[in-house]
Amino acid sequence: MAELPPEIAAMSFEDALAELERIVRALETGATRLDDAINAYERGALLKRHCEAKLKDAQAKVERISFGPDGQPAVEPANIQ
């Protein structure tokens, strides 16, 4: 898979998601010229990939508190799927 353009890779999750939502709204109206729509779709696909990677990174950092047999709390990686 190709690397993300630097301007997308540097975006926060929230900024990338907001731009992706704007692109989707614009494409849904159907008022975009074909070439512009294709470019917007391609950028949207890159933004979606970036958002998914950011979410996966955040998921990997999430920890879950559990209690051992002795009742003592412990922290372990969450098993989120």
Domains in the chain, please, with CATH?
6-77 (1.10.287)
**Whole-angstrom Cα distance, residue 5 to residue 8?**
5
What is the DSSP code (8-state) at residue 71? S
> Across residues 24-42, what is the average pLDDT?
95
| Global confidence as pTM | 0.75
pLDDT of 81 above 60 = no
What integer pLDDT is reported at residue 24 of this predicted model?
Answer: 96
What integer pLDDT is reported at residue 78 of this predicted model?
Answer: 66
> Across residues 47-76, what is the average pLDDT?
83
> Across residues 42-48, what is the average pLDDT?
97
